[in-house]
């Protein structure tokens, strides 16, 4: 057994985490509400796994492990109902979206636990600037080698997930011109970026023990990579998504990740190559900046396409796998319909154009996420 | 004409504006001293500075000047009550009926205990005890709003303290208005006065608030969402409403509370951004607390220390029991309930205005009523802000001090 044992899990099982915004219902700024909300939820029985995050204006909900999209969505909806009901009792709003449109980063309060206080001391203002809200998708892998392969292969599709989930066009009271401004906040951290080009779990373990030897990291938690293997769960974790405006969209993104993972692990369409990450950051920037209209370069053959065309081109490859997983119509709608229906960033911009008020935008975000009781 | 006619001639002519400026300056300095040296709330410093310069202190400010400055206090309390009314979110109350029960219990038990204490231990008659109990229902809105803003407090204790204050102020003013027929009966008013006076006050003030909200909404429809314009518009309309209430002999308190509450709940298209008076707002609080401090009657407070302390104590006990009774099942912890009750302790400007209003209608009754209520007001004017600050800090809801370098 190596340095970093990879827990066995059923391949292609699925789980997600969503970081959510807590706002007041007067001016819709972020508010200090996590501990009150968790207290109220604890009293209302067992709504599932809901945890504090680094600031008091954020909570994180985590699904349990699912084999398919349908049960995942059902669980997310039940958790949403519990959270929304507690929030209504406390008169706070819960919203999706990758960033709050107008909060001032320096107003944030660090949630009072040892780990969060440590991070706040270590990272200084970065910790408070990191008040952004993401969706993490876990996909189960058969073993460590498969996790390494999938992590590398998924990097080709990272722009898809960025563009489809993008919901942080506004930041600190300005239109950033980005569809996802959230990922720029991640870039500032020293351990952000991508996994090094290890080809097997054994190679990865030796990298990890070197880093641990330097005293930089203690566990996988300390890497803020876009995609990282999560040996203690036996999964890979895709971390580039903004929290979508609804749990339904979050579940649809998870279904796409699952279909893609099935396609990659069963068909093994490409081998990991040395040039895999050459244009990674360019593609990633394009997706953050232009969303569905980004210009993508394929790392394997150098071909160029608009991101939304690439989505359409990807669907035939994953369609059969989505079919087998029972989520074909959903994935089809997500990929083929992207150009027409747009992403959440586009919807948020339309909302702002109509109302000219960020407070109104956030109120609408709360309505989208909480749904009528 | 002498050549140097443009120079001032001694003795200098009296000029109230100078003294008003000096009074405010003392308030600013007093507030900073309180905060930096004594770790007390700023507003306690404002009030003490006012007290020091006022008739009870060095008498730089005399009663005439205080009377002339009353307009500023009226404007300040008007703006504060508007903001308070805007805190009443009917949708929240509809979703959480327990909150309504908490408010009613808190008001009823506080008032009940005050009434009982005054009747049985201080042998007061029914009318005086009832009026004093009604006034004791209200928490000082200015204190709670200023302290929460100064400390950047956010959370359930803060939100509920503001909401319960808005509700108990409304209930106190309504209860006192409801006592008017009995007072007329006692002081031999005709049946027309008995019936029509309270009705005129209630319906008239409410109608004025409604008219002001309707006018605001109509103007906002045209003005749009530019926030700096909205604040200017609001201050203009609030001043007009205060002036109209005074001219029409209506209740400034009721009219402005109704204005704030109605505009929040009638604004279906969310045209009004949450009012943020910012720095302008702060100066009104400064004026209000300095003037309130200058008008404090320490002598009366000292002679009434026993009644004042008992009133303050049983009022707190009543409010605490009322709140704690409904905390379970409302998503709050008991500890938070207790801190919430503590945060509701302050009594100040609003109580004084209710006393003054009563006194202007029934001079003799008002004077004795004041001797009963004022000692508690003086006590809680000084102690209340400290208690509220303590409650919010202990609840963990205040903005953390900028961390020292480590």
Which residue ranges make up each domain of chain A?
Answer: 14-370
Cα separation, A21 vs A133, in Å, equals 7
A233 Cα distance to chain centroid: 17
Of the spans A31-35, A315-319, B56-60, B380-384, which averages the highest pLDDT? Answer: A315-319
Two tokens, residue B47: 């009030």
A191 Cα distance to chain centroid: 17
Q: Give the gap in angstroms from C-alpha A353 to the nearest C-alpha of chain B.
A: 12
B265 and B214 Cβ atoms separated by less than 8 Å: no
**Considering CB atoms only, which of A26, A33, A43 is closest to B155?**
A33
Residue B229: list chain A partners with CB under 8 A: none
In order of A153, A259, A326, A330, B108, the CA distances from A323 in angstroms are: 21, 9, 5, 10, 64
Does this complex have an ipTM over 0.90? no
Cα separation, A241 vs A183, in Å, equals 9
pLDDT value at residue B406 = 34
Cα separation, A356 vs A334, in Å, equals 29
Task: For residue B212, give the nearest of B88, B84, B82 by alpha carbon.
Answer: B82
**Considering CB atoms only, which of A27, A86, A121 is closest to B273?**
A27
Task: Give phi and psi for B268, each to the nearest 5.
Answer: -70, -25
B388 and B343 Cβ atoms separated by less than 8 Å: yes
In order of A116, B341, B344, the CA distances from B105 in angstroms are: 40, 12, 14
Cα separation, B336 vs B129, in Å, equals 31
Q: Give the gap in angstroms from C-alpha A11 to the nearest C-alpha of chain B.
A: 40
Q: Give the gap in angstroms from C-alpha A154 to the nearest C-alpha of chain B.
A: 41
Interface-testing mutation among B100, B159, B231, with chain A (most A C-beta atoms within 10 A): B159
A141 and A234 Cβ atoms separated by less than 8 Å: yes
Task: Give phi and psi for A285, each to the nearest 5.
Answer: -60, -45
Cα separation, B26 vs A275, in Å, equals 71
Counted across chains A and B, CB pairs separated by less than 8 A come out at: 62
What residues of chain A, 119 to 178, have a C-beta less than 8 Å from chain B? 121
- B330 contacts A89? CB cut-off 8 A: yes
Cα separation, B33 vs B46, in Å, equals 10
Cα separation, B158 vs B170, in Å, equals 19
Burial class (CB in 10 A: 0-12, 13-18, 19+), B278: exposed
Consecutive sets of 10 residues in chain B, 406 residues long: mean pLDDT of each?
Answer: 78 77 89 88 88 83 80 86 91 91 96 96 93 95 91 93 95 93 83 88 96 94 79 91 94 93 89 76 85 81 88 96 86 89 90 88 90 89 91 90 44
Could you tell me which CATH class the domain B17-394 is placed in? mainly alpha
- A360 contacts B270? CB cut-off 8 A: yes
A368 and A96 Cβ atoms separated by less than 8 Å: yes
Query: Lowest-pLDDT range, A61-65, A275-279, B207-211?
Result: A275-279
pLDDT value at residue A150 = 96
pLDDT value at residue B401 = 65
pLDDT value at residue B404 = 37
Inform me whether the pLDDT recorded for A52 exceeds 50: yes
Q: Which residue of A has its CA nearest to B332?
A: A40
**Considering CB atoms only, which of A25, A32, A355 is closest to B397?**
A32
Cα separation, A51 vs A116, in Å, equals 13
User: Percent of chain A, pLDDT > 90?
Assistant: 74
Which of helix, strand or coil describes residue A210? Answer: helix
pLDDT value at residue B110 = 96
pLDDT per residue over A322-368, tens digit each?
999 999 999 999 999 998 999 999 999 999 999 888 999 999 999 99
Q: Which one-letter DSSP state was computed for residue B304? A: T
Inform me whether the pLDDT recorded for A1 exceeds 70: no
Cα separation, B319 vs B112, in Å, equals 10
Q: Give the gap in angstroms from C-alpha A70 to the nearest C-alpha of chain B.
A: 31
Q: Which residue of A has its CA nearest to B402?
A: A106
pLDDT per residue over A92-104, tens digit each?
999 999 999 998 8
Cα separation, A37 vs A8, in Å, equals 35
Q: Give the gap in angstroms from C-alpha B274 to the nearest C-alpha of chain A.
A: 5
Task: Kindly write down the DSSP assignment for every residue of B82-144, as one continuous string.
Answer: HHHHTT--HHHHHH-HHHHHHHHHHHHHHHHHHHHHHHHTS---HHHHHHHHHHHH---HHHH
Task: For residue A304, give the nearest of A139, A159, A207 by alpha carbon.
Answer: A159
Residue recorded with tokens 């769960």: A233
Q: Is A112 on the interface with B (CB under 8 A)?
A: yes
The mean pLDDT of chain A is 92
pLDDT value at residue B6 = 84
- B333 contacts A356? CB cut-off 8 A: no
A14-370 classified as CATH 3.30.590.20: yes
Q: Show contacts of B98-103: CB within 8 Å, 24+ apart.
A: B98/B326, B98/B329, B98/B330, B99/B160, B99/B163, B99/B330, B101/B326, B102/B164, B102/B322, B102/B323, B102/B325, B102/B326, B102/B327, B102/B330, B103/B163, B103/B164, B103/B167, B103/B168, B103/B171
Two tokens, residue A166: 């993008």
pLDDT value at residue A108 = 76
pLDDT value at residue B224 = 78
Interface-testing mutation among A23, A26, A85, with chain B (most B C-beta atoms within 10 A): A26
Cα separation, B234 vs B228, in Å, equals 10
Q: Give the gap in angstroms from C-alpha B249 to the nearest C-alpha of chain A.
A: 33
B41 Cα distance to chain centroid: 17
Cα separation, A201 vs A238, in Å, equals 18
Cα separation, B166 vs A121, in Å, equals 40
Q: Which residue of B has its CA nearest to A355?
A: B225
What residues of chain A, 244 to 303, have a C-beta less than 8 Å from chain B? none
Task: Give phi and psi for B313, each to the nearest 5.
Answer: -70, -50
B28 and B286 Cβ atoms separated by less than 8 Å: yes
pLDDT value at residue A42 = 85
pLDDT per residue over A163-200, tens digit each?
999 999 999 899 999 999 999 888 888 889 999 999 99
Going by DSSP bridges, is the β-strand pair A14-24/A58-62 parallel, antiparallel, or unpaired? antiparallel
């Amino acid at each position: 057994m190596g340095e970093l044992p990879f827990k066995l899990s059923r391949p292609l099982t699925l789980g997600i985490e969503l970081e959510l915004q807590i706002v007041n219902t007067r001016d819709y700024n972020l508010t200090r509400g996590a501990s009150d909300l968790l207290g109220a939820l604890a009293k209302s029985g067992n709504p599932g796994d809901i945890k504090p995050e680094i600031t008091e204006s954020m909570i994180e909900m985590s699904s349990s492990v699912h084999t398919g999209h349908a049960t995942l969505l059902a669980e997310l909806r039940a958790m949403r109902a519990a959270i929304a009901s507690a929030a209504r009792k406390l008169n706070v709003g819960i919203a999706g979206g990758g960033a709050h449109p107008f909060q001032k980063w320096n107003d944030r309060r660090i949630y009072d636990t040892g780990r969060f206080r440590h991070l706040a001391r270590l990272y200084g203002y970065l910790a408070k600037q990191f008040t952004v809200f993401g969706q993490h998708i876990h996909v189960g892998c058969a073993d460590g080698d498969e996790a390494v392969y999938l992590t590398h292969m998924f990097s080709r599709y990272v722009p898809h997930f960025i563009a489809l989930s993008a919901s942080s066009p506004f930041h600190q009271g300005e239109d950033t011109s980005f569809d996802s401004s959230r990922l720029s906040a991640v870039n500032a951290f020293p351990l952000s970026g991508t996994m090094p080009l290890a080809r097997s779990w054994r190679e990865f373990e030796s990298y990890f023990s070197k880093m641990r030897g330097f005293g930089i990291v203690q566990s996988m938690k300390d890497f803020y990579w876009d995609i990282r293997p999560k040996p203690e769960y036996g999964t890979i974790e895709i971390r580039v998504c903004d929290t979508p405006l609804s749990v339904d969209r979050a579940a649809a993104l998870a279904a796409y990740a699952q279909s893609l993972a099935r396609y990659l692990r069963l068909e093994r369409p490409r081998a990991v190559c040395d040039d895999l990450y050459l244009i990674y950051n360019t593609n990633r920037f394009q997706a953050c900046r232009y969303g569905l209209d980004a210009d993508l370069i394929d790392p394997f053959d150098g071909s160029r396409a608009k991101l939304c065309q690439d989505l359409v081109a990807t669907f035939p490859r994953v369609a059969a796998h989505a079919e087998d997983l029972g989520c074909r119509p959903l994935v089809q709608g997500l990929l083929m319909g992207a150009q027409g229906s747009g992403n959440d960033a586009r919807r948020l911009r339309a909302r702002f154009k109509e109302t000219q008020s960020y407070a109104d935008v956030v109120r609408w975000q709360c309505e989208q996420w909480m749904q009528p009781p | 004409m002498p050549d140097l006619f443009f120079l001032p001639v001694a003795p200098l002519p009296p000029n109230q504006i100078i003294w008003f400026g000096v009074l405010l300056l003392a308030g600013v300095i007093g507030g900073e001293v309180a905060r930096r040296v004594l770790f007390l709330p700023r507003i306690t410093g404002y009030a003490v500075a006012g007290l020091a310069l006022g008739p009870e202190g060095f008498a730089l400010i005399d009663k005439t000047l205080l009377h002339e400055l009353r307009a500023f206090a009226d404007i300040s309390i008007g703006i504060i009550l508007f903001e308070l009314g805007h805190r009443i979110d009917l949708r929240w109350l509809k979703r959480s009926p327990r909150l309504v029960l908490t408010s009613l219990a808190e008001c009823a038990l506080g008032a009940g205990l005050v009434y009982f204490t005054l009747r049985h231990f201080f042998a007061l008659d029914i009318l005086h005890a009832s009026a004093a109990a009604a006034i004791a229902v209200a928490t000082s809105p200015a204190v709670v709003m200023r302290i929460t803003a100064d400390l950047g407090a956010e959370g359930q204790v803060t939100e509920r303290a503001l909401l319960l204050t808005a509700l108990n102020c409304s209930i106190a003013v309504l209860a006192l208005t409801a006592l008017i027929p009995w007072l007329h009966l006692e002081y031999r008013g005709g049946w027309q006065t008995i019936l029509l006076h309270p009705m005129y006050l209630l319906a008239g003030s409410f109608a004025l608030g409604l008219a002001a909200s309707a006018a605001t909404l109509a103007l906002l429809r045209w003005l749009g969402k530019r926030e700096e314009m909205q604040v200017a518009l609001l201050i203009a309309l609030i001043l007009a409403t205060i002036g109209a209430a005074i001219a029409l002999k209506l209740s400034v308190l009721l009219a402005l509370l109704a204005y704030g509450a109605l505009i929040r709940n009638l604004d279906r298209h969310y045209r009004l951004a949450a009012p943020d008076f910012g720095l302008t707002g702060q100066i009104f609080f400064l004026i209000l607390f300095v003037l309130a401090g200058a008008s404090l009657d320490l002598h009366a407070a000292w002679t009434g220390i026993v009644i004042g302390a008992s009133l303050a104590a049983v009022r707190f006990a009543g409010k605490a029991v009322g709140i704690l009774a409904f905390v379970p099942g409302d998503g709050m912890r008991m500890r938070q309930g207790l801190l919430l009750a503590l945060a509701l302790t302050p009594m100040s400007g609003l109580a004084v205005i209710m006393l003054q209003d009563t006194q202007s209608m029934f001079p003799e009754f008002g004077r004795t009523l004041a001797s009963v209520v004022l000692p508690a007001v003086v006590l809680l004017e000084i102690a209340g802000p400290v208690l509220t600050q303590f409650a919010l800090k202990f609840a963990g809801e205040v903005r953390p001090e900028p961390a020292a370098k480590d």
